[in-house]
Amino acid sequence: MTVIGMDPHKRSATIEIIDHTARILATGRYTTDMAGYSEMRARARHRAGFELLRHRILLA
Question: Within a domain: residue 34?
Answer: yes
In total, how many domains does the chain have?
A: 1
Is residue 60 in some structural domain?
A: no
In a domain, 59, yes or no: no
| Within-domain flag for 8 | yes
Q: What is the mean pLDDT of each run of 10 residues along the chain (60 residues)?
A: 85 89 89 90 74 48
The predicted structure's pLDDT at residue 57: 45
- Alpha carbons 20 and 34: distance in angstroms, whole number: 30
pTM of the model: 0.65
What's the pLDDT at 30?
A: 93
The answer to whether 17 and 25 are in contact (CB under 8 A) is yes
The pLDDT value given to residue 51: 53
Domain range for 19: 3-54
Within a domain: 49: yes
